Amino acid sequence: MSVTLLALPYDAGALAPHLSRASVQLHHAHHHRIFAETVRTAVTGTALERASLEDIIVETAGRQAQAGLFQAAAETWNHNFYFRSMRPGGGAPSGLLAKMIDRRFGGFDGFSRAFVAAATGLIGSGWAWLVVERGSLAIRTTANSDTPIAFGETPLLGLDLWEHAYVLDHQGRRADYVRAFLKSLANWEFAGDNLDRLLDQAAVPMRASFAETTRR
């Protein structure tokens, strides 16, 4: 089966001072690991034993009897995505993605304001995402363990809004954590690669449509 705990793509201390080594290590080696191990245990000996993580999520979404497996699988996928959504030093969107952000949000500042508003507006635990939905960029939040891939949306960038992600370094101040992510941690190269992968998989007219949108 392909349910694996993603190795951190950087040293655990590389995101400091925005996220400390202790915080990242605890998050990855404790929270993330428990979810992945829960999935492995739950599917062993079942029809889903050899299924991909994505297939497990789609198969169990909305099924009350499998809510626990869905939660663990979605958390594993979300965390795999989250840790790749960051890199030391962050960066800025470029290429087609930058043009799409300009077009959709009026520029990076407009996007940042909307992302912070969405992330801080989520009551309780969950996730904030930049996604492609029906051929357009959108900002989404999902509550608790939910994930955009259960709804047919394609995430480009994801941020963990569970308090365990920011309580040590930001004393639970979510807005500070979200702003630090956007300013100093967000991996826009990863986001751009996700967009390219979607466009490569989609029908050719979708790429043409995006290009046309950004020319106007």
Stretch of 34-42, 45-53, 154-162, 169-177 contacting Fe ion, by CB under 5 A: 154-162
Q: Can you read off the two tokens belonging to residue 15? A: 């995101």
d(CA 54, CA 211) in angstroms, rounded, equals 29
Residue 107 beta carbon to Fe ion: minimum distance, rounded to whole angstroms: 30
Q: Are 140 and 153 in contact (CB under 8 A)?
A: yes
Q: In this complex, which beta carbon is closest to Fe ion, that of residue 74 or of residue 137?
A: 74
Q: How big is the site for Fe ion, counted in residues (CB under 5 A)? A: 3
Minimum CB separation of residue 6 from Fe ion in Å reads 13
| CA–CA gap between residue 50 and residue 134 (Å, rounded) | 30
* 160 lies in the site for Fe ion, by CB under 5 A: yes
Report the greatest alpha carbon distance in the chain.
54
Contact call for residue 162 and Fe ion (CB under 5 A): yes
Torsion of CA 167, 170, 175, 180, to 10 degrees: -120
Nearer to Fe ion, 71 or 105 (CB): 71
Please give the Cα distance from 20 to 180 (Å, whole number): 12
The first and second tokens of residue 148, run together, are: 């955009």
**Other Cβ atoms within 10 Å of 44 Cβ, number:** 10
Instruction: Give the shortest CB-125-to-Fe ion separation in angstroms.
Output: 9
Least distance in Å: CB of 37 to Fe ion? Answer: 15
- Tell me the closest approach of the beta carbon of residue 161 to Fe ion, in angstroms: 9
Q: What is the 3-state secondary structure (H, E, C) of 6-67?
A: CCCCCCCCCCCCCCCHHHHHHHHHHHHHHHHHHHHHHHCCCCCCCCCHHHHHHHHCCCHHHH
- Of 56-115, binders to Fe ion (CB under 5 A) are none
Asked whether position 146 contacts Fe ion by CB under 5 A, the answer is no
What is the footprint of Fe ion within residues 113-132 (CB under 5 A)? none
Site string for Fe ion, 21-60 (x = CB under 5 A): ----------x-----------------------------
CB of 31 to Fe ion, least distance (A): 5
Residues at the interface with Fe ion (CB under 5 A): 31, 160, 162
